[in-house]
Structures are given as structure tokens and as C-alpha cells.
Chains A and B, each alone.
Chain A
């Protein structure tokens, strides 16, 4: 028999009521886990963006291409150390539901600019050597069960081949992975040269440029210098940090973070009402028992502690079960949806926030019943019992 044992026994005094309360806590924290993981997926770009990488886009719209001729001029701008480019291919594999990112690029400079993406040198060389070669992230390879040497036809919803077909044939030459656990590798890269030669329209353009600034260079000055070069041209540019680009891209889907916060606020407000009611009922039912504890010599604060502990314990049990179930679900969803929405991940930060919420909600739900119990005059309470 311990103090915790007493708290535990009291938590389970009304099994059905506690179970129903626990169920509501589990559902709330399951929802918290899922929404946190999805919100993370939408802001992952900003989180994993490197501070020294800038992105150059068309000033008017992300979907307007930029001339390939800009490449050398950008590279020659003072403060620019390395440049690569990429374009949106917009293809799917086998079925329109299997959509993920595919980017024609300069593979070597791309991997130089993204050192967090690792690929064996011989596979990168094989990609460069094979005009229709393609490399895929490990997440995609696992999802579709590919192996090096496989022929992978991709159906582009944008780009038509010069032969009139929208099906592009590729050969898998390599597999890359992200060393950043938050980063995604659910995309493919292939040779821009092949794309440039084979596409029926749009020659001489790329989707966007990515550059790395030299050590000590001021990113704002470099960005301004690039944009100034192309001012008043048919394709004016807007250069921003990769983080700002990722944020503005995510915002196209709406303010996901705000939406998640609003939903969770509603869920936790309801949860607080349910839990506070449970605790209030529980205290009302055992006024005389609490008075007996005080009679035996437990102080007012000890009684407050008992009631608060019960409330926090219910939240912790339900919350941890909910987070655990959420974590399992998130793993499954990341597997299923990773190719379309990479970065679905229950981060350690979200787990810590969840635990803090459990304790906070436990205290909030239990504080008023606990104060009632603490202030209970023994004589009056015994008389009521």
C-alpha cells in the first residue's frame, strides 16, 4: 500500500466512468498525434531548409518557367558559390493515385547543393552516363519494390514526348536517402538533358534555380543582386531563402498550423469539460472519505495532491495510449501517403508537447475539485457523510 496505490484505486473506483473518460482522452490525443504529424508534413520544408540555400523563382508565379540562360548569370553573381536547377515533371507511376515528385535536374550539382541527400558515387555516375537514367529516394523504392536496373515508366500530366506520348521510360540507376530524419526522400531525379531533348515544348527553360551562397555572403544582398539582373526582363525573378520558399509553398494549402490549433483547441476544451466533470463527480461522491483521510492526519495539501494526481493520472494513461496509437497510425500513414505528402512524422517536439498537454489538462481538470477537497472542513464533511 502506497500513496500511488491509493490514487490508483480511486481512479478505478467507477470503472465504467473512468473507462469512458479515458476513451475521450485517448481519442483527443490520437487526434493530436495525427494532426501534429500532418502539420509537421506541411512545415517540414521550412524546418529542414538550409540557411545558406536560396531559391530563384519567376516573380509572377511558381508555375512560370525561367530561361536556362539565367544559370550562368546566376552562377556569376558575387556571393554565389554553386547553382543547380529543377523543374516540375508532374508524373505518376502506373496509376494517377501514385503521384510523387519527379524533377529533371543536373544530378551532380543537385546532390552537391543538397548534401543531406546521400547517393553512392558509382550510382550517380551511372545516372549521368545513362540518358534515361533516374534515381529514386529510398522511401519510393520501398513503396514500389523497385530495384536498380528496373524500367520505370512515368506518365506525365504536363509534358508530352516529341513522339506524342505522355509516357516517359526511365531506368533506375540509383537510390538515395536523406540523412536528416525529418527530411523526405520520396521523390525522383533524372537528367535534365534527356528532358530538354525529348519534351515537345518548353525548351530552354527550367522551373527554378537553387543556389548556395558563399561563406560570409549576405543572403539578402545576393538575392537582391540576382533579382536586379533580371529586372524589366520578360522573366523577372524573385529570390528568397529556401525556408521562406517552403513556407510560402505550404501556405498555398492554407494556414495549416492555425487550422490544427483551432481543431485541437476545440477538442481539448471539450476534453477538459468531460474530465473536470468526472473529477467533480468523483470528489462529490466521497466527501466523507476525504474527510476521513484528513481525520487520519493527511494534510489539506496532501488531499489536494491526491485529487490532482488522480486527474493527471487519468490524462497520462489516456494521453500516452492515445499518443502511442497515434504514433502507430502515423507510421502507417507515412508509408501510405509518404509519396504524396512526405514528412508525415510525429516529432519528439510534438510528443513532448503532448505530455505537457496531458499534465496541463490533468491539472486544469482537477484543480477545482482538488481545491474543494482541500478546503473541506472535516467536521462538516463527516456530518454530510
Chain B
């Protein structure tokens, strides 16, 4: 975001928001839990402060504390000052007067963020009324203005609708409209774009930028996504286990992090821009983020830290935040050494392998297409679903979730399928395995026709291809122990014998869990561990192909890296082929050899990852790539963004011809009448577009 903004805490001018030594305690099963401890932040007018943290870091609690919306049982200490007004000592009535007027918040988007039984326009009008506008006509006009400002087309019409009639992106924009209705001094965005598609996210961020430019609002931008923060903020504060571990100007913090946790987070990110050498291991931080109240003594990060001095001082004394030059605040015992450059805090952002990282092993199985038939061939696959409206069970039509897809996958190869929500990639994954019955098309697995297979044949085929799901919570039977879960496929196929238990133990070890996990139950494991169990289960019957449906999306960044490394290791040692479904382009870039980009049921571009991501030919791929944030602030700021107009078309009523044409800046009449076929049009890899070619970003 543009706007100079002061750099460094406490520098020049009165801050719009000042937080000093904030602490929040909530009651827990074993006594009170400190979810936020000694947090101090400052945001100047017109500035954006990024607050970064994983789950359990306390960042949302901090936001709630500022707003005065903590749960009843929570206790708070510390000072909160909004441009001279003390919020921590204010009464509830005072706070009510401040909320919505001088201080506003946008929460993480969900279906429930707006009142479902109230019209959208009325809800925005409510926010305006809070600002003291008494005339209904004036309010109605302002509602239209606000909706227009946040980029909702045809505001008069949409104001009469109910929230469930709007898409996720539109609802979030309405939420922003409500928040800025009275031009607050401070706006808190708490994971405001997390639930949105990447292209919609870019639109929403654009709205925030424009608003800030207009009214010099101070923004506290909370996110777990370092890439987002790199482009959005001038200063960044990193939280871990309820405390601030590092706080400084964005460029310096990203280029040379002083805290091992920050360094670890940056190293754990897969990069879309290929800044990492091919097959470099991600810097995974062992363990999982400390839950509030379970932080160990001393520095909360020390059990996971690559450079911790144990036992003293890192395991005994808590590090206090201290200035570390260039306007930075770091809470680390070894900060001085790190700042001086004599100590490497961990794997750096440049992709150089640190002491923890060793390069991944080269692939063992050859994967040339010459001579060898593909392991998986998909031709003309079409899968449709009946549409059920309201509560009546009468179908009102069919959605073409997969509208004619061709792809192939060789043994030992990794193919990524990317797209935004509703593009049909999950359905594609399930259709290939016949977990969902396709309507038309051919699926050949190892030469055998999957669709034509009878019951017995299908069961046999199931041993050759397995699936790992997105949500590790829901994909494990809560009433079965880990050992039983992993053994289940063996039992189903009658392969459970005396060697069974040994095999299960071996599988668990392979995925990085130790034998004690055998008797644990899913609820005792963390998200990353559960996902590893799911992988072990998928490997039990020794498949050749692993279908992975968003395998790391539900995991924290630091945990995600570990699972991605595991997947790479397994592929190398077992010669597995992967069909990886993801919406995160960086993950696909890091893990896969080839990629297919999907839009509304069709593949629009496919080819080797380097080619497609560095030289995309299809406008949609270009827009996607442009929307993905890169955790490199100078690069982020310099990027030219492609902001798509309007909303993604509905799968219920796809546009004729090329389905992307309603959002495409190159579309013409031909695009409306003729469906572009997927073919190599001179770019080196197949594209489905009538006007392929380099985009504005080059």
C-alpha cells in the first residue's frame, strides 16, 4: 500500500492506536490461561501495521481486546488508547459510542458474518445510523455510495437482497462497507480475506488500499499469510504464543529476520516466483505452534528453535523485547548475535539450505513419457450434480462441475491442479477415483478402465490409487485408534496377517510419527500429525498413485512445510505419482512437475510448472498469478496487479463459449460463440484461449 507512514515504533506523530502491555486471560480447564501477554503495538494514521501469527498466537484476542468484544469470562490488563481516548478504562456505553464510528473491525468472512434475515442495505444503513444520520433518504443515498465504493455493481439492486444471495466476496465487501461507513480512525482487518479466493482477495485488498489513501485510516492488518502482509503493510509485528517476538519495518524484517521464529516462518513458505532452488527442502519448524497456556518456561519458542541455548538462558528466562537497531524490536536472547550477523537464525529466505535443511533426494523412478504409457489417463471427463433449491428435494437443473477434462500422469510424476473455489478440482479428484460417479468420459488407471470396472475389479483398483483429504479432523474416524485407522485398508483387502502390526509401525515411522502414536486417538493429535496419519493410511496398501485434495490447506504454515517435505521424500523413495489439488499456486510450484489450471470445470492451461507460472499464456492464469502475494516486500510493491472485474460466474449458469470471457479483458465476440480447445498455440504448452499471449506483467 502506498503512503509513507512513520517507520519504527514510537517514531514521530501521535499514534492513531496505541497498545501498551496488553494481557488477556481466559479461564481454562486447568486454570486461567494467558492468551495474550505483554503486547505493545503502535499504528500511526495512514499506516498499515501487519500482525502475523499462526493459530494460538493470540492475534484475534488482541483485536477483540481493542474492540472491547472479549468474551465475558476474559480478563484484560494493559493500556489501549485510540488517538488520545483511553479504551481500557472506558465504560461499555462509551465503547458503544466509539465502535463503528472511530474504531471498526472486519472479521474473517463467513456465511454468518451478516444477519441472514435482514436485507443487506438495511444492515449497512444501521451502521450509518450509528454515525448520526437521521434522515432515511440520506441514509439510503449513503448506502448506495458505500456499496459503490467497495466495488459492488448495481448497488441499488443488491441493497435489497439478503446475505445468502450474495457471494462470499460480496459479503465481505459489504462487511467492509459497514466498517468504513463512518470513516473510522482505525480499522482492524482480522483475517479479512482468508476465506476468499485469491482473485477476490486481490479485489478486496484493492478496496482497502483506496479507502486508506482517501481517509488516512490506520489499519491493523491481522493475518497468518506473510505474503499478504509483505504487500499490505509498512510495519510488521510477529506474534507467537500470545507475545510479540519481533516488530519492525517490513522490508528489513523480511530481508533479514532477527527472530528465529520469523526466520523459520519465512523459510517455510513455498515460493511462487521460483526463488528457491529446485527441490530445496522447505524450512519446516519441528513441532506445532504452542497453544496459549501451554507455552513452556523461558522463551515460548525454544523447543522448536534451531539456535536455542538450552538450558540457559532460553529455557529458563523469558526474553524481553529490546530494540535492535533499524527501528526493530526483538524478543530473543540471541538477538544481538543475530543482528550482528554472527549467528544464522535458521534457514534464510534466500533459499540457501541452513543447518536444518538438506536438499531433497533426486527422484528415483524415471518419468519420461517416451515409450511408457501414462499411469493415469483421463479423457473427456464430465461430472454433473443435480441442483437442489431450498428445502424441496426437486432438482432444478444440473451443475457441470467437471465439463470435459483431459489429463495424463506418468509413474513417479507430480501433477498439480489449481483453481479457485467452484472450479471443480475437488470433484475431478473424486471422479477419477469414482468416489463420485462421472457422467461421461474415460479414466484409465494402469491401463484398466476405471469407469467400466465392476465391484470386484474396482476394489482391486482401489489398491492402486488412494486419496488424502483436506480436513484432517474429519478424515479420521474419531472412535478408532491410529493403529486401527492405518490397518483398516489392509483389513478391507484381506491383507492383514501376522506381519500386519509391524507394517503399520513401519508406515507410521515413514510419515514421521513414532510408535507411541499407534494407540493414540485422533483427538489427541495435532492437525499436522493427523494429516500424517491420513497419509500413512493412504500408503498402507502400497498404491502407485496418490490423489491429494488440498492436503496442507488446513495446516499452519510452519506445519505445512513439514508435510510438504514429507510428501517430497515419499515420492522420491516410493516412486509415487501425485495428483495434487490445491488453490495455493506456491505449493504446487514447489511440489509438482506439471500443472493444470482449472476454471469453471475446464482446464484452461497446462504444462511444466516453471513455464506455466513464469510465462502464463492464458489471461486467467495471469490474473491468478498476479493475485498471489509474494513474501518479498519490494517485489510486492513493484508488481502490477491485474484486478478482475465483477464476480466469478456461477456454475449454475456458465457463460457460453469460453467460460472466462465475462471477466477477461481480451474477450471478443468469438469468445462468446466458440469454445477454445486446449492446444499448443505456439507458447510451448497447451492453452485454451483464443487470444493467448503474455500478460501485462510480462
Partners in one complex: no
